[in-house]
Chain A
Amino acid sequence: MTTSVSASPPAAATPRHTAQAKHSKRNGQPSAARAWATRAPLLPALVFLIAVTQLPFVATLVISLFDWNSLNPDARSLSWFENYKTVATDPAMRESVFTTMLLTASVVVASVVLGLLLALLMDRTFRGRGFVRTLLITPFLLVPISAALLWKHVLYNPEYGLFNGAWTWVAGLFGDDTPTQPDWISNSPLLAVEGALVWQWTPFMMLILLAGLQSRPPDVMEAARLDGASEWQMFRYVTLPHLRRYLELGVLLGSIYIVQNFDAVFTITSGGLGTANLPYTIYQTFYQAHEYGLASAAGVLVVIGTIVIATFALRVVSSLFNEEVNRR
């Protein structure tokens, strides 16, 4: 972060110089009035964002300290950390913490691996490359709710879904007229949610990793090739180290988005059969059980978890960003 701050031209004006700056405008030192003039365009956006995103979170922090069920509003009382204790000991809450971690980790890993393979394929020139790219990103451009409904009703449905339908058709070719017809969602509910999410997120990872592949310095690649590196060696010792930060970025952004996933869980399993992740559980705690204090405490825990991931994410974004700034 420090390198890029010094890379910005006006950062040279430190507070120590401001008194003297009033008289030396010609030397490029902004006066206090001018500093405010440069800041003014920024203020509406900052004020708006703080009001709409930060204040509600402060309110969540406060509510999380209360024993507050909206069905019984008179019994509202300050209970300090009682809600956090409940969240920590409640088996359903604990399970949803575990489900969230499992869901996020498995979807991110699977979509990064698939995305990397696709990106390596797409990095070559072949006929119709632009069109194939468009085909590949289509899943990501479907409205998430549509995608979830599509998987649940059109693909997974045990009686007339495409998966079982195609299986019947294939089995029919081999003379089996009564093939087994698995009920995908009730047999492996978490896997069903993960499948739909991996399908939607692989294109995202592919796009980021493809951008990474295409930013490889051509001279280094050429030098490695002239030195007689095999294709695997090139991948292992040139491409992979270069891709590292793009992989990190994909993993972290993917984690931040998927930790928050609500649409797929809500649609495909309605949080049943052990697939309730934290956003869904919180939604239910407050929307159906009306336990405001408890829901807020769980919300605070999600934020803490996200901050841990986000700190790493910000570091990665910041290093890529600084590189970009310094290149300018």
Chain B
Amino acid sequence: MTALTTARPSGREAPLPPAARKARRRSARLGVVAWCAGIVFCLPVAWMVLTSLHSEPDAATNPPSLGAALTLDGYKRFFGAGGGADPWPSLINSTTASLCSTALVLALALPAAYALSIRPVRKWTDVMFFFLSTKMLPVVAGLLPIYLFAKNAGMLDNIWLLVILYTSMNLPIAVWMLQSFLADVPVSIIEAAQVDGARLPTILTRIVAPIAAPGIAATALICFIFSWNEMLFARVLTGVTAQTAPVFLTGFVTSQGLFLAQLCAASVVVSLPVLAAGFAAQDKLVQGLSLGAVK
């Protein structure tokens, strides 16, 4: 019985003892269970993609029409064929907000992470936890003053306001992630550069960034995802011109008649950048989501 748990790949020694053979069979069975679980979890997404490729009447049948003819009509109509609202401005707004805030986050977080790992300030852990604690402040708690400020400053419906807010939203996560990645940069290289007279900006861009590039990339991808997904700020603080893609999605449902295929197409298009970023950052995803607590 005890050997059952050793489902590790132990090479390919030819005559397996019966216990090991039993273990292998059991492991295969559990593998099948894991496959089923994966498929069940992915099924709604797969169904969404399939529905997006059906025509509207085929998308809204009961029972579902699995083998109906495929068409790109849903996507065409989402992108404005047939007189609907044009999604491009909102997609461009989301891209602007996500990319600019991610760049700003990195510009602020990289020096901060340097001061928390490579040349740590005194009590650097306290500073780390201050950063983290701001992340725990619920968004709704600051929403109203920000709204009033934006209204008085004439910044309502302005994409740059979202850039600033998304930067503050992601900064703690980025500092935590980068701190743990920068800690792996060998200090001796940096000291050598300092002896040669390199200043901080040079050290960060020429030495730290190339060495920690995979970690910085993962951090950027996670910040991008969170900015792209954000909805509450965008909903309250933007109207027409600065509307982001998630807000566009919500407005889009109520105004249409038969809309299932088009809705699925829209969801696929809006989710695509996040899915791509998420799969690219898969290995570091846990570290980012757990604020660097888990590696």
Contacts and interface: CB of A to CB of B under 8 A. Distances in A.
A13 interface: yes
Interface string B137-176: 1111111111111000000000000001101100110010
Given A132-B34, A149-B253, A229-B2, A165 B62 contact: yes
A45 B171 contact: yes
Contacts of A124: 7, 27, 30-31, 34
Contact of A42 (B4, B112, B290): B112
Nearest to B31: A126
B127 interface: yes
Nearest to B128: A321
A138 B45 contact: yes
A320 B293 contact: yes
A91 interface: no
Contacts of B180: 324
A138 to B, nearest CB: 5
Contact of B108 (A48, A279, A302): A48
Contact of A292 (B47, B137, B144): B144
A35 B141 contact: no
B64 interface: yes
Contacts of B38: 131-133, 135-136
B141 A162 contact: no
B238 to A, nearest CB: 13
B250 A41 contact: no
A154 B45 CA distance: 10
Most buried by B among A56, A63, A325: A56
Given A151-B44, A299-B141, A321-B292, A283 B232 contact: yes
Contact of B138 (A5, A165, A168, A260): A260
Contacts of B175: 45
A234 interface: yes
Interface in A92-131: 118, 121-122, 124-129, 131
A160 B61 contact: yes
A10 B121 CA distance: 7
A202 B286 CA distance: 13
A231 interface: yes
B294 A212 contact: yes
A150 B31 contact: no
Interface stretch (A82-90, A183-191, A306-314): A306-314
B246 A145 contact: yes
Contacts of A287: 236
Most buried by B among A122, A145, A230: A145
A35 B119 CA distance: 10
A8 interface: yes
B91 interface: no
B119 A38 contact: yes
Contacts of B28: 126
Interface string A251-285: 00100100110110011000000000011001100
A150 B34 contact: no
Contacts of B127: 42, 46
A217 interface: no
A185 to B, nearest CB: 14
B20 interface: no
A137 B278 CA distance: 9
A168 B246 contact: no
B74 to A, nearest CB: 12
A321 B293 contact: yes
A145 B263 CA distance: 12
A46 B31 CA distance: 48
Interface stretch (B79-87, B211-219, B269-277): B269-277
A134 B2 contact: no
A250 B240 CA distance: 38
A41 B111 contact: yes
A299 B44 contact: no
Interface string B253-295: 1000001100110011011001100110010011001111111
A35 to B, nearest CB: 7
Contacts of B2: 225, 228-230
Contact of B137 (A13, A164, A215, A306): A306
Given A263-B231, A283-B236, A41 B253 contact: no
- Considering the complex of A and B, which 3 residue pairs feature the smallest CB-CB distances, nearest first? A126-B31, A56-B142, A41-B111
14 contacts: A1-B126, A11-B124, A49-B134, A121-B33, A126-B35, A145-B246, A165-B64, A208-B290, A253-B291, A262-B232, A266-B235, A266-B250, A296-B144, A309-B136
Interface of B: 1-9, 27-28, 30-31, 33-35, 37-39, 41-42, 44-45, 47-48, 51, 59-64, 108-109, 111-112, 114-116, 119-134, 136-149, 164-165, 167-168, 171-172, 175, 180, 183, 200, 225, 228-229, 231-232, 235-236, 245-246, 249-250, 253, 259-260, 263-264, 267-268, 270-271, 274-275, 278-279, 282, 285-286, 289-295
Interface of A: 1, 4-5, 8-11, 13, 35, 38-42, 44-46, 48-49, 52-57, 59-60, 63, 118, 121-122, 124-129, 131-146, 149-151, 153-155, 159-160, 162, 164-166, 168-169, 172, 181, 199, 202-204, 207-208, 210-212, 215, 225, 228-231, 234, 246, 249, 253, 256, 259-260, 262-263, 266-267, 278-279, 282-283, 286-287, 292, 295-296, 299-300, 302-303, 306-307, 309-310, 313-314, 316-318, 320-321, 324-325, 328
Given A124-B34, A172-B63, A279-B139, 9 more contacts: A5-B125, A8-B124, A121-B37, A124-B31, A126-B34, A143-B229, A143-B274, A166-B63, A210-B286
